[in-house]
Structure 1
Amino acid sequence: MRKFKTQLLVLIPGFVAALCGQVLAETAENISDKKLVIVSSFPEKMTAIYEAAFEEKYPGIDVEVAKKKTTAGLKYLQENNSVDLFWVSAPDAFEVLKKKNMLQKYRPKAKGIPRRISGYPVNDPDGFYSGFAAAGYGIMWNREYLQEHELEPPTEWVDLTRPEYQGHIGLSAPSRSGTTHLTVEAILQLKGWEPGWALVKAIAANAKAITEKSSQVPKGVINGEFGIGIVIDYYGLTAKANGAPVEFAYPSATVFVPSGIAVLKESPQPDLAKKFIEFVLSPEGQQLLLHPDISRLPVWPDAYKSENIPVGYPQPFSAKTLGSHTAFDVQKSRLRYNLVNSLFDVMVTYRLGDLKRAVKSLQQAERKLLTSSNAVPEVAAALVQGRDLINYLPVDELTSYDPKFTGKFRKKRKKISDVIAGEQGEIEKRWDADIQKRYKQSYKIVNASL
């Protein structure tokens, strides 16, 4: 027995060493030679920085990022089950996937991150997606462009409706961009359904173009194609940090929402996906958001204590810095996501020419009322009638929350000539005919009074 124990003691160290070696080898094998596939709407400069940092921290892991617009990304995920993570700015996009049961629950272990920002939950209360950065929406402008055209910088949404900005603004369509969708939805929630749409139409009427991608707006502002653009904050902050002659401002009424990340339910590498989430939420990952090529707002408040933070950098956890901001209702946004996209395309994207002409006549009528030394009641009456025709909405706010109605909208047109079959197509066809008629009537009535 004693001899056996002696032999066992002699064998144990070798056994333990072998066992540890096997475990370490298996662990190394588990985290190396693996591919992590991410679908993201973020700029390649940003994802490349995170990709390099994560691969350096975990050698052997290959991170592959598929760059796609949010709306295209949603469609791609429904057709592919080889994706591990969805990483985009728009929280309502995650709600779409959550509703389709395409996400798996994961609650990050990261500490020190508040539950809410500006009244909005940082993480999904049900645990299906997590916020990693805050995003605000506002106005970006090119200083040199405005100086050349003798224009004052706009800082409020209503400023963009002024006639002097006509033809100087760039914006995208919500059906083409998740961030633009959030901007429009935020205005609708902050201003109210009818006043919000009136404001959106008035701004769009001053647009030089509706771009195919949201990224084309800040690029256009930087290169002088547009003087002004409606953008998500990081476009303005990044451009300014890299020396472009631009400025960015949050309107006094603005919304801050978390950009998110989530593990797909069919993820081939769920453990690696969760490891990546923990990385972006770690102090190291949060500090990366301050990189000049990223310039986003961390959800970890201690990141703002960093010595590397630029002077004047926004502080989303300080109401004094950013003024008033209202909580964004993601449930309302989710319910009418496709409906808002369809309404914008029918009333703005595919009728931009008619809208611009009608609004320009309103602006001329307003100018005549202001400059005329005599009363011109016929112009005043035409102005009221014309504005009512332009601001007409085919859907009231109560209906916009009705799932039976909003559920009819599932597809989008890439161009005005595209035909959508079924009830959605029939509804949009009626809307289009009605809107076109009203814009033309408005122009005719107001123009006749001038």
Structure 2
Amino acid sequence: MRALLQLLVFGLVAFLGAPSAFAATKEVVIVTSFPKELFEAYKKAFEAARPGVRVVVKPQQTNAAITYLRETRAKPDADIFWASAVDAFQVLKADGLLEKVALPDALLSRIPKTIGTFPIHDPDGHYFGFAVSGYGLMWNTRYLALHKLPQPKEWTDLADGRYHGHLVISAPSRSGTTHLTIEVILQAYGWEKGWALLLQMGGNMGSITERSFGVPEAVLSGQYGIGVVIDFFGLSAIASGHPVAFAYPSLTSVVPASMAVVKGGPNAENARAFVEYLLSDEGQLRLFSPEIGRLPVVPDLYAKAPAAYPNLFTMKLGGVNFNGKLSSSRRNVLNSLYDHLITFRHAELRAAWAAIFAAENAVGKARAAGKSVAQAEQSLAEAKKLATAMPVDATRASDKEINAAFKDKPDVKSKRETEWDSFAKTNYARAREAAERALAAAK
């Protein structure tokens, strides 16, 4: 009898100590690329709205999150994927990693089907927009005044030699929002002209940060003057009273920041509740708080927006009809190209453009003085051509086999990247030499 009693006691202890299905429903696990200010605000609010549910947040930059969800697909431990990069959701949907969800009409009927020409929600119900975003330029007004620099208005302004060393951006391979910005520029100007602009901008960058948050931090601190950012970084800084400004270039795109329920996640009911909370009035209005500074997907709520907050549903903004399928088709190649042409060869690229700008100034002065500059101009043109050359055209960049190899065949990826790195190193050295010849010829 005593032995039986002990067995029953041990069994009860084991039962109470073991994770149960009931305990599993008491949390929701979120993988997100958003800053702490945003996800902490929503964690606190959702836990208050749904007592007994604990929100567990796993911060990941977008590309790392995609990898994480792929690696855990056999036994998912996340319930929600929450990020700005809409093409990341298209990639995950194609991989079969997102759950199809039917939301109440009462929530969806208040939200337009598109922002511009881009769908706010996945038509098949695998992901939903909760905020709309544009991409642009944020600058420190005191910094520009101190350095006597003009306020930028367009992406092309960032190629101006006056901004050399005053700009900051994050790497698209480490930031989903920067990836979308790079795609916007490429879709606005085309592959060849777009990359020429990106390489000139890259040469002007003072720094390339590892996370998108590093860009507004560098601008706010006055370390650099101008940052390439998603709008909410600028809007939240302005709302908080910092000496900064933000502008949308005429060629930009407006797309949704989205959320999705992970297929097979352990807490499906709470995941769905979190999605519905974000689309409720309470969840949408919270976007206007100064520490978040984002723009709702429900147009009627803009009547309650803080002063000076833009309404992207009524503004004449855009110029670029963002092609999400094109973006997702070349995502792997684009990120790798940017890293090996700009991020990893930033010092060489920056030196090449410094030499080009010095030569341009010298040629301009020589021309104004009536000197012959034909030889100098020829060398200068050669330098610019070398500094903006691309090893891959648009067709190859979107090739399915190449992009699949970048995901699944490390040896193929490594071979390509080695070739691109060598291409960049050689071309930037030759560009610098040509610019120095132009400078010498102009004297």
Q: What TM-score, normalized to structure 1?
A: 0.88
**CA separation of 1:365/1:242 partners in 2, compared to 1, >3 Å: closer, same or farther?**
same
> What is residue 66 of structure 2 aligned with on the other side?
74
Match of 1:182 among 167, 180, 183: 180
Give the distance between the partners of 1:333 and 1:324, measured in 2 at CA.
17
- Whole-Å separation in 1 of the counterparts to 2:261 and 2:415: 37
Measured after TM superposition, the shift of residue 289 of structure 1 is 0.8
- Which residue of structure 2 lines up, in the alignment, with residue 58 of structure 1? 50
1:318 matched to 2:314? The reply is yes
Task: Report how far residue 30 of structure 1 moved.
Answer: 7.2
TM-aligned CA deviation for residue 407 of structure 1: 1.7
- Secondary structure of 1:410's partner? helix
Letter in 2 for 1:211: T
Matched, 1:121 2:119: yes
Deviations 1:325-370 (A, max 9, x none): 3221111111100100110011101111111111122212222232
Q: Distance in 2 between matches of 1:32 and 1:53?
A: 20
Identity, % of aligned positions: 41
Equivalence map 1:16-415=2 (5 Å): 34-80=26-72, 81-109=76-104, 110=107, 111-306=109-304, 309-320=305-316, 323-372=317-366, 373-374=369-370, 375-410=372-407
Contact 2:25 2:270 in 1 (8 A): no
Q: Which residue of 1 aligns with 2:429?
A: 440
Q: How far off its partner does 1:59 sit?
A: 1.0
Whole-angstrom distance in 2 between the partners of 1:30 and 1:328: 43
What is the match of residue 10 of structure 1?
none
CA distance in 2, matches of 1:105, 1:33: 19
Post-superposition CA distance 1:139-192 (Å, at most 9, x none): 111111111111121121111111111111111111111111111111001111
Partner SS state of residue 200, structure 2: helix
Contact 1:170-1:220 at 8 Å conserved across structures: yes
Deviation at residue 75 of structure 1 after TM alignment: 2.1
1:31 positional shift: 10
The CA deviation at 1:285 is 1.2
Quote the Cα distance in structure 1 between the aligned partners of 2:47 and 2:241.
29
Q: CA deviation at 1:54?
A: 1.5
Rounded to whole Å, the distance in 1 between the matches of 2:420 and 2:126 is 36
Aligned-pair CA distance for 1:235: 0.7
TM-score by length of 2: 0.89
Q: Distance in 1 between matches of 2:302 and 2:288?
A: 9
Secondary structure at the counterpart of residue 345 of structure 1:
helix
After superposing the two structures, state which structure 1 stretch, 237-246 or 48-57, moved more: 48-57
Q: 1:4 maps to which residue?
A: none
Secondary structure of the equivalent of 1:132? strand
> Aligned-pair distance for 1:296?
0.4
Amino acid at match of 1:326: V
Cα-Cα RMSD:
1.7
- How many residue pairs get matched? 410
In the aligned structure 1, how far is the partner of 2:388 from the partner of 2:41?
A: 45
Q: Runs of at least 4 residues of structure 1 off by over 3 A? A: 29-33
Q: Which runs of 5 or more residues in structure 2 are unaligned?
A: 1-20
**3-state DSSP class of the match of 1:315?**
coil
In 2, distance between residues paired with 1:31 and 1:301?
38
For 2:45 and 2:110, the matched residues in 1 are separated by 22
Aligned partner of 1:7 in structure 2 is none
Name the CA distance, whole Å, in 1 between partners of 2:280 and 2:410.
Answer: 47
Contact between 1:256 and 1:325, CA under 8 Å: does it hold in 2? no
Structure 1 distance, partners of 2:431, 2:130, is 46
- Kindly indicate whether the alpha-carbon contact (under 8 Å) linking 2:77 and 2:265 is maintained by their aligned counterparts in 1: yes
In 1, the alpha carbon distance for the partners of 2:199 and 2:190 equals 14
Counterpart secondary structure, 1:311: coil
Change (3 A) 1:345 1:33: closer
Corresponding residue for residue 5 of structure 1? none
**2:242 aligns to what SS in structure 1?**
coil
